A and B are shown apart, each in its own frame.
Chain A
Amino acid sequence: MDQQSLRELEYRCIQEQPPWCSAACPLHVDVRAFTAQAAAGKWDAARKILERTMPFPGILGRICDHPCENVCKRLEVDEAVAVGALERCCIENSTPQSRPLVLPGKKGEAAVFGAGLAGLTVALDLARKGFRVSLRYPGETFGAGLTGLAVPKEEFDQAAALLKRIKVDLREAEIPDQAALDRLLENGLAVFLDLDEPAARVLAEGETPDAATLVLRRSGLFAGGGPDPEGGYSPIRQAADGRRASGGMDRFLQKVSLTAQRETEGPQETRLYTNIEGVAPAPRIIPADPGAGLSGEEGRAEAGRCLRCECMECVKACVYLENYKGYPKLYARQIYNNESIVKGHHKSNKMIDSCALCGQCEVVCPNDFSMANLCLSVRESMVRRGKMPPSAHDFALEDLRFNMGPHFALAQNAPGAEQCAYAFFPGCQLAGSAPNHVERVYDWLREAMDDSVGLILGCCGAPALWAGERELFGRTLDALREMIRPLGAPTLVTACSTCYDTLRRHAPDVNTTSLWEIMDRTGATPSPAPGRVPAALAVHDPCTTREHPKLRAAARSLAGKCGVEVQELPYNNELTSCCGYGGLMSCANPGLAREVAERRAQQHSGDYLAYCAMCRDVFASTGKRVWHLLDLLFPEAAGENPAARSSTGFSERRENRSRLRRNMLKALWGEEAGLMEPHEAVNIAMDADVASRMEDRRILKEDLQRVILHAQETGLRLQDPTSGRYLAYHRPVRVTYWVEYAPEEDGYRVFNAYSHRMALEGDRQ
C-alpha cells in the first residue's frame, strides 16, 4: 500500500467528517461534544467546549444566532436541537472555565478600531498570539450594537477586564482620520476596522472587504463585522469575521501568504452520513418560563435530543470492526504503518488476519469502504514478503492439503458413464460435517437429473485465498481443473456457497451452479414427513452469498416448500453477517470468532436455518439450535434431532471425509480406496475433556496417532515409572507434538497432548 492508496482509502471513510452543525458554524463550535456534556448536566464542562472555539462565550453564547439549527439532522425527524437556547442555558448555569493562554511575544503590532464583536475578537485573538494590540473605541461604545441585546452589562465589563489582563491597550478614543490611519499602515501595523462602529465605517468609505481575507483596499488594512451584506445582523458571523481577520493579520505581520491553506475556515460542507432509521420523534422542550429560557433540567433534556451525528455504519454491524475500538479510517492508517515499516508488528498483524473478509462493511458503507479488500491485499503482500506469521493460517492450509490429497480428493464419472454433464461438488465442510447428506444428495441428483452426474471431492482453494496465499490458491484451482477435465468439463453443482462464490470469481472457466438452484428449479424436492420440520426458522445467509441473490432466493424457496415459515434476521441478504469462520478468522483469532458467532446467534430467539455446513457447525458450537437446509430436505429417521446435533470436531471432519470417499468409492464404483496409512491403525481413546482440549489446541487425532506410532516403533519415549504412562514427541513437519499416553487393552489411552513450533536441534523425525 502506498501513500496515495492510503489517502484514497482514508477519504472513503467519513467517520471523522464533522457533523452538520459544526460544519455550518462559522466558528466550528463542537456542538456534538457540547450537547454530550449538557445532556449529562455538566454545564461547566459544556462551557469549556464553547470556550475552545468561541470568543467571549459570556456574550456570544447568549446571543448566538445559531446557523447550526438550520442544518440539524434532527430536522429530518422532527425539529432541530435548540442549540442557541442550550448555549444560553449553559452560560447561565456555569462560570468561566479557562484563562486564555498567551503565547510568548511576537514581533508585530496591531490596531483595532471599534469594539463590536468583530473588533473584540480580533483584539483577543492577536493578543493571545503574542502581538502588541491596541483597541480604540469612541466613548460608551464598548460592545457596540450588542449592548441593547440580552447581555448583562457585567459581561462587557468582564470582557474588557480580560482584554486588559492579556495586555491589550484598551482605550476610549476617537477613531482617527484617514491620514492617521495611513501613518499606522506605513509603520507596518495591521489595522482592523470594525464596521459596527460608524466612525470606522466612514474610514472604509463604503467599500466592502475581500470575502476570503477581509483585506480592505490595501495591504495591512482589514475590515469586518457590522451588518450582514443582506442587511441582517448575525453575532456569530461578526465573531467569525473577527476570527478570519485576526488570522489574516497574523499572516500579514508574519509576512506569509494571506490565502494559503485557509479552505477550512468558515462554514463548510460535510460528507458525513448518519443513519436516522429508528430515531423516535421527540419534540423540542418548551421552557416552562419562556422569558427565562431553558432551566438546567430542561436544558439537559433538550441536549439529550442531539443525535451525536456520526457514521459508524460498518462498526455497528461488525463485531470485528467494533473489537479494535476504532473505525476503518484509523484501521487503514494502522495497517499502512504496519506495512510501511520494514518490520511488521504483531498487533496489527492480528487485526489484518482477523477480518472475515465477508464484505459486509462495503455494502453498509455509504462510500463502499472495503475492509475485506484492504486486509486481503495486505495479507497477500505479507505472504509475498515472508512476513506472515506462520502460526496464523497453518492449520487451515494443512486442512486444504489434506482435502486435495489422497484421503479425500476424488473425481468420478457417474457409475457406468463415460462423460458427465454435471458433477456434484459438495465441498470439504459438508463432507466433513454431514457425510450422510453428501451421499443422499448424490443419490437424489442422479435420480432427478436427466443428464449423468459425476462426483468431485476436493477443495475450492478458499482457505489459501483467505490466507493471502495467492500462489497456493492458483495451484489448488489448477489441480481442481485437472480433476474436472477428464470428466468432460461438467458443470459443478456446489453445495457450499463459498465454493460457488470462489469458483465464480476466480475460475470463470469452470461452469458452476448451486445445488439450491437446481433443487428449486427441478421441483423434484423430496417432501419431508409432516410434523418433523419446525414451523418457522430464522434464516442466516452465508456471507459468500452476498453477491448471489438467486442462491438466497432458492434457499428460501426450498425451505418454504418444506413447509417452513422463513423469518429474517437483522442484517440479512446482501447485508448478512459472517458466522465467524470466513476469512479464516477462527484460525487467526479464535476468541474473536467465537464472539462473532455468539453475537449472531443471539440476534433471534428461534432456531436458525443455515445453508452452509460451516455456518451450521459454528452456530451449533455456541449452543444455538440450528438446522441445515439439507436437514429439512432429507430428514433423518424419526427420533433424530438435527437442530441439536453438535458441531463436528476437526479430527472427526477429516475422518468423515476419508470414510466418505472410501464408502462411496466402494458402494458406487466397486473400487477399494488406497491402503490406509500405518498410523490410521493406531487405536486411541480419550476422555471427553481431553478431546475438547485437543480441539482447542488444534491437535488432530492423526497427530496423536503419528506420535504414538513413532514412539512405539522406535521405543523413544519417556516413562513415569510410578504411573507407567509414556510421554513421547514427534515432529512430522512444522510442529512438534507431545503426547502423554498409556497402552490399554486394544490400543492406547491419551491423557494429554501439547505442541510447540520451536524445533529442537537435530529434531528426531
Chain B
Amino acid sequence: MSDLSFLPETNWRCGKCGEKLTPRITNVEYLGNTFTMELLACEKCGLVLIPEDLARGRMFEVEQLLEDK
C-alpha cells in the first residue's frame, strides 16, 4: 500500500556483516497505529536505519499527532 519511503544517501553499512543497506518494507507502530514504510536495512542482519532527521522530524510530528487522541 505504501509509498512512504525514506531512503537517504548514506555511508552507514551494517557493522556486523559489512553489507550495504538496501530498501526494505518495514512496519512502525505507535499507539495502535501501524504504518508501512520503506527504510534502509541490512538484508542479512535485519538492522534498520532511521536517520536523525526522520526521527526528530516527521516521526516526531506523527507521534504528536497520534497522541492527540
Contacts and interface: CB of A to CB of B under 8 A. Distances in A.
Contact of B69 (A344, A720, A722, A757): A344
B60 interface: yes
B68 A346 contact: yes
A293 B7 CA distance: 78
A752 B52 contact: yes
Interface stretch (A383-391, A435-443, A456-464, A669-677): A383-391
Nearest to B30: A758
B68 A344 contact: yes
B14 A729 contact: no
Given A346-B67, A349-B68, A760 B48 contact: yes
A720 B55 contact: no
B15 A718 contact: yes
Given A756-B63, A758-B59, A729 B12 contact: no
B2 interface: no
A756 B55 contact: yes
A715 B17 CA distance: 9
Interface string A389-411: 11100000000000000000000
B29 A758 contact: yes
A756 B27 contact: no
Given A346-B64, A346-B68, A716-B47, A760 B28 contact: yes
Contacts of B4: none
Interface string A322-351: 000000000000000000000111100100
A756 B59 contact: yes
Interface residues of B, number: 34
Interface string A727-760: 1110000001010000000000000101111111
Contacts of A738: 50, 52, 55
Nearest to A711: B15
Contacts, number: 93
B68 to A, nearest CB: 4
A389 B67 CA distance: 5
Interface string A259-285: 000000000000000000000000000
Contacts of A344: 68-69
Interface string B24-49: 00111111001000000010011111
A719 interface: yes
Q: How large is the interface on A (under 10, 10 to 19, 20 to 34, 35 or more residues)?
A: 35 or more
Contact of B26 (A389, A721, A726, A761): A761
A758 B50 CA distance: 11
Contacts of A761: 26-29, 34
A342 to B, nearest CB: 9
B69 A387 contact: yes
A727 B64 contact: no
B52 A757 contact: no
Nearest to A753: B52
B26 A718 contact: no
B63 A717 contact: no
Contacts of B52: 738, 752, 754
Contact of A717 (B15, B62, B68): B15
B47 A758 contact: no
A342 B45 CA distance: 44
A720 B31 CA distance: 33
B69 A717 contact: no
B12 A718 contact: yes
Contact of B13 (A346, A718, A736): A718
Contacts of B16: 715-717
A345 B13 contact: no
A333 B27 CA distance: 40
Indicate the member of B31, B62, B65 with the most A CB atoms within 10 Å: B31
Contacts of B28: 758-761
A758 B47 CA distance: 16
A349 to B, nearest CB: 7
A728 B12 CA distance: 11
Contacts of A715: 15-16
Contacts of A726: 15
Closest 5 CB pairs of A and B: A719-B15, A346-B68, A389-B67, A761-B27, A718-B12
Interface of A: 343-346, 349, 386-387, 389-391, 715-723, 726-729, 736, 738, 752, 754-761, 764
14 contacts: A345-B68, A386-B69, A389-B69, A715-B15, A717-B15, A718-B13, A719-B13, A719-B14, A719-B18, A738-B52, A754-B55, A756-B55, A759-B29, A764-B46
